[in-house]
Chain A
Amino acid sequence: MGHASNSSEEAKAKGSVGKGLARVDGAAKVRGTARYVDDLKFPGMHHGLTKRSEVPHGILRGIHKREGFDWSQVVVVTAEDIPGRNTILLIEEDQPALVAIGAHVRHVDEAIALIAAPTRALAREAHGFLDLEIEEIPAVFDCEEALSAEVNVYGDDNILKTYLIEKGDADIEEKLASCDHVVEGLYRTQAQEQMYIEPQGMIASWGEDGVCHIIGSMQCPFYIQKAMRALLALDDDNLVVEQAVTGGGFGGKEEYPSMIAGHAALLARKAGVPVKLIYERDEDIAATTKRHPSVVRHRLGFDADGTIRAIDVDVIFDGGAYLTLTQVVLSRGVLHAAGPYKCENTRVRGRAVATNTPPHGAFRGFGAPQTTFAYERQTQKAAALLGMSPFEFREHNMLRDGDRTATSQLLEGSVGSEDVLRAVKEVAEANPLPKDDPATSIRHGRGVAFYFHGAGFTGSGEARLAGRATVALAEDGHFEVRSSSTDIGQGVQTMFTQIAATGLGVEPDAVRVPTPATDRVPDSGPTVASRTCMVVGRVVGQASVALKNRIESWASENGFGDMPLRQAATAMAKVEGEISETVQYAPPPGIVWDDETYTGSAYPCYGWAACVIDVRVDTDTYEVAIDRCVHAVDVGKAINPVVVKGQIEGGTLQSLGWALWEDVIYKNGKVANDRMTNCIVPTFSDAPEMHTIIVEEPFANGPYGAKGVGEIPMDGPCAAAAGAVEHALSTLVSSEGFDALPVSPEAIQRAMRLDS
């Protein structure tokens, strides 16, 4: 073999599935040449600004342009300017794009009017001269209070959605009463800000041909397209939604971008020029969606030998003022609420409640972190009560291959539960906690968590989505992967590159994964739910192989049998025109889900994970430092182990941040800490050294065995961290002190004070 083919073989090997290919989007981002939406300029472009409500609940009586400003310089858009339906369409039509006069304002920072001006400064000036007249009415901010329905935010009872999961014939109360022990706990978690590094923004422009073009920071181009159809009364031929390079999403750019896209499009339509609408950081923190605050009551019944016999969970999520994605978030919350444990008798009730706070929405983990926190706090307490090791109690009860979940789903294959727990246990046992020195202020503690996360859409969701992806030979001779999956920093472009290169048998630089635009890519479904690799990656792989086979058979039929694939493809395209293969996702057979009874296969498969966290608590300052963080995650197959580790470690830090430091403080329904200086998220300096173990129990229906990894690392570390603090202070404080997040220094001090 010659030198050239050797290096091409090397390049192929480097880019193949399972290798840590360098991020294909990395160089442009590091060099600053990647173009985010705020880097884009269009001729004649104006700048948009949003006029928002300052009251949490009221009736809009008027929008007044005050004198003293030359209003001819700017364009003002109100609900009257909407050509279609005044709604941000996703699930229901309850949320308006702009509150109309006479209609209800339901939260602070709700959009009421829009301004576009040639400069931002002028738009800001106009903003100061625009007055809103709102008749204020009583508001409700607490989701438990909202249940009493004295203040009406949604429907006639403020309940956005309820679910009930029941397993076993026995009455749950009787079953609990018959257990040797019942541990009962009340758990609260707070809102969490995604804090993507790039604030949200969009640019909209209307062509002479009547086509509306929207480009911006987003996760789900086709969600925006759907919302724009309704708002702008357009059909798909008159609408193009394109992703710009996006600086992080974490779920925060799943539903809200439709709002900003709609606003930019309305302004551009009226102004007759392109309009850029970019949120400032404070505006972004104040107005966009956050993780749902939760209240979870959990009763865990078990016998003296540690066997779990009954589980009863009551989940309440604060949905905020509109439904957005709340019902889906709650669904995932309740589906994970019983945990990865065997139990014949289970009841999970879930309610999502509307309040007068800005809507809560998608955030990595999507409801599961809230309920995982509750059940893993419970597991820790149960093990402690029995004097069992935290590993032993979990091993005794864990779901294994062949077991059934709370929805009676039979687990068949790809169950890494034993492996992940064993992996962290080995590291933990080899590294015992240091002994406390009573002369110092430092106390050491260890916490454990074990959990699972359903990958992909719930139940028959993937069948309904019917995600498609295309692999084609582009005009310039590159193989192009076309899908609506967005790279939001999580490595989609790199992962698709590897899957396609491997499927086609070419070097990774022969493959290109452009940012999607709705007129150029098929709908692969949204970039959410840890589904992109498992579902869209699978069809990308299948399309790649199909394309390769087609090219090879064409080549051999036409006497080019020895030609490298790319050359053969180019030759073939000359004859046949663009060659491409599109594949639609086929869910694994045997997925049966009943949406009425909430029974059956909730998810195509699950990721499994365990972590051990060692902390040091300083009893002088109540600060918590993380000394060790061991995290094992069963991902099926790591298409790119470096990217997978990045996902696990980033998700871990996000979970630890939520557990120990992060809080969104609302005052009268308004986010009070709307800056990075007071809306605290951890920095690199706060990140512990992470010991990350990738476990691979292949999923037969995923590409090369891969299943979801994006969200699972967010679910469990919070519970392990709270457990570790509890353990460190176990002689000083009772465990209830750690049942509400965040376990901040102030909260630890309060707990120590109450108990002393």
Chain B
Amino acid sequence: MSEFLSPKDLPAALAARAAHPDYIPVAGGTDYMVASKDRLPPPGIINLFGLGALTGVTDLDGGGVRIGACTTYATLLGDARIANTFPLLRDACREVGASQIQARGTLGGNIATSSPVGDSLPPLLALDAVICVASSAGERRVAYEDFLVGYRKIDLAADELIVAIELPAPHVGAMQHWRKVGTRRAQSISKVMMAAVAHLDDGRIADIRIALGAVADRTVRARATEDALRGSAPSEEAAKRAREALRGEITPIDDLRSTAEYRLGVAENLVRRFVLSL
């Protein structure tokens, strides 16, 4: 049997983490529960779900928000700031699992699992999220792209917890677009995801950030594609250049859910459609 710790506040949680680096922190448990079927129980569990300091959405100066790591999808879906300022994230949350999973699954859990098919991850990347990590020694802040270090690997030490995600305010008038292509409409693992944010200046793409999921070992920014588009008018011409750039920078794989050819083709089509919609 695993020991079950339910720390009452963040310092207690961090102390437990420092004292028991082999214990598994669990938030909603929706990933943990599935993974636990095929492995031995851990020596202990540190329950984070419902911990006040890790839950909820607060305003940041300058129009951004700070989201507690243990905030559920359901809470995010009910939050007007998310809906108004970060519809990209709202749209992604809406398509996670189905209502049961949304009620229990957390943003921090999605980030910590860091599956290449995690649905909230491309929006966070495209929205320039900053991950706030803490240990008993203090807090540090990491740009999300740097936080993603490999296949299901994040820049998190054994005594640390993810405490919050900060999203800066997007550029005024920026367009945000989300598309999840999954195996079905609910309880679906993504085959391709695209999160994109862009704004025009004088009819030209002034800035664009495209994050893709399920096309690499981790969630990735399509930097070359963005470069191919920045400064251009959103035309069929520009879309064609973007597709070519995209083909050069991602190499998706075949697996049980889909094919490399499909993932690449659909990613190209989605980028094109987004460009044409600007």
CB within 8 Å of B: which residues of A? 441, 619-623, 661, 665, 672-673, 676-678, 680, 682-686, 745-746, 749-750, 753
Contacts and interface: CB of A to CB of B under 8 A. Distances in A.
Given A680-B183, A686-B186, A620 B266 contact: yes
Contacts of A749: 261-262, 265-266
B103 interface: no
A261 B257 CA distance: 34
B110 to A, nearest CB: 16
A126 B9 CA distance: 43
B256 interface: yes
A683 B266 contact: no
B256 A686 contact: no
Given A745-B262, A746-B262, A685 B185 contact: yes
Contacts of B251: none
Q: Which residue, of A619, A661, A684, A686, has the highest number of chain B Cβ atoms within 10 A?
A: A686
B57 interface: no
15 contacts: A441-B269, A441-B273, A661-B183, A672-B256, A677-B187, A678-B183, A680-B184, A685-B184, A685-B186, A745-B181, A745-B191, A745-B266, A746-B258, A746-B262, A749-B261
A235 B262 CA distance: 58
Nearest to B180: A621
B189 interface: yes
Nearest to B37: A280
Nearest to A683: B186
A620 B256 contact: no
Contacts of B265: 749, 753
Contact of B259 (A661, A676, A677, A746): A746
Contacts of A621: 179, 181, 192, 266, 269-270
Nearest to A623: B181
Interface string B166-189: 000000000000010101111101
B98 interface: yes
Contacts of A684: 186
A148 B169 CA distance: 67
A686 B258 contact: no
Contact of B269 (A620, A676, A677, A678): A620
Interface in B253-278: 256-259, 261-262, 265-266, 269-270, 272-273
Nearest to A665: B256
A676 B183 CA distance: 11
A160 to B, nearest CB: 29
A407 to B, nearest CB: 40
Contacts of B269: 441, 619-621
Nearest to B270: A620
Nearest to A674: B256
Given A677-B189, A746-B258, A746-B259, A682 B184 contact: yes
A393 B262 CA distance: 37
A683 B185 CA distance: 7
Contacts of B186: 683-686
A201 B266 CA distance: 42
Dominant SS among interface residues on chain A:
loop
Contacts of B262: 622, 745-746, 749
Contact of B256 (A619, A678, A683): A678
Contacts of A685: 98, 184-186
Contacts of A683: 98, 184-187
Contacts of B185: 683, 685-686
Nearest to B185: A685
Q: Which residue, of B179, B183, B184, has the highest number of chain A Cβ atoms within 10 A?
A: B184
A128 to B, nearest CB: 12
Given A620-B270, A621-B179, A661-B184, 8 more contacts: A620-B266, A620-B272, A677-B187, A683-B98, A683-B185, A685-B98, A749-B261, A750-B261
B214 to A, nearest CB: 13
Contacts of B258: 745-746
**Which 8 pairs show the lowest CB-CB distances between chains A and B?**
A685-B185, A685-B186, A620-B269, A683-B186, A746-B262, A680-B183, A621-B181, A686-B185
A34 B270 CA distance: 48
B267 to A, nearest CB: 10
Nearest to B262: A746
Contacts of B272: 620
Nearest to B187: A683
A680 B262 CA distance: 17
B191 to A, nearest CB: 8
Nearest to A752: B265
A686 B273 contact: no
Contacts of B187: 676-677, 683
A197 to B, nearest CB: 14
B184 to A, nearest CB: 5
Q: Which residue, of B179, B256, B272, has the highest number of chain A Cβ atoms within 10 A?
A: B256
A12 to B, nearest CB: 41
A444 to B, nearest CB: 18
Contact of B189 (A665, A672, A678): A678
A591 to B, nearest CB: 44
Nearest to B266: A621
Given A620-B269, A749-B265, A678 B184 contact: no
Given A661-B183, A684-B186, A678 B257 contact: yes
Nearest to A687: B185
Nearest to A746: B262
A24 to B, nearest CB: 29
A40 B193 CA distance: 44
B45 to A, nearest CB: 18
Nearest to B179: A621
A680 B192 CA distance: 16
Contacts of B270: 620-621
A187 B131 CA distance: 52
Nearest to B189: A677
Contacts of A620: 266, 269-270, 272-273
B264 to A, nearest CB: 10
Contacts of B259: 746
Q: Which residue, of A619, A672, A676, A683, has the highest number of chain B Cβ atoms within 10 A?
A: A683
Contacts of A678: 183, 189, 256-257
Contacts of B183: 661, 678, 680
B66 to A, nearest CB: 32
Contacts of B256: 665, 672-673, 678
B275 to A, nearest CB: 12
Contact of A622 (B184, B257, B266): B266
B212 to A, nearest CB: 14
A673 B256 CA distance: 7
A748 to B, nearest CB: 10
Nearest to A440: B273
Nearest to B269: A620
A620 B272 CA distance: 9
A677 B190 CA distance: 11
A746 B257 CA distance: 10
A443 to B, nearest CB: 14
A686 B257 CA distance: 17
A745 B265 CA distance: 11
Interface in B221-278: 256-259, 261-262, 265-266, 269-270, 272-273
Contacts of A746: 258-259, 261-262
A682 B181 CA distance: 15
Contacts of A661: 183-184
Nearest to A679: B256
Nearest to A663: B256
Nearest to A681: B184
Contacts of A665: 256
A746 B266 CA distance: 10
A620 B185 CA distance: 16
A673 B262 CA distance: 19
Contacts of A750: 261
B258 to A, nearest CB: 6
A678 B184 CA distance: 10
A743 to B, nearest CB: 14
Q: Which residue, of A621, A665, A683, A749, has the highest number of chain B Cβ atoms within 10 A?
A: A621
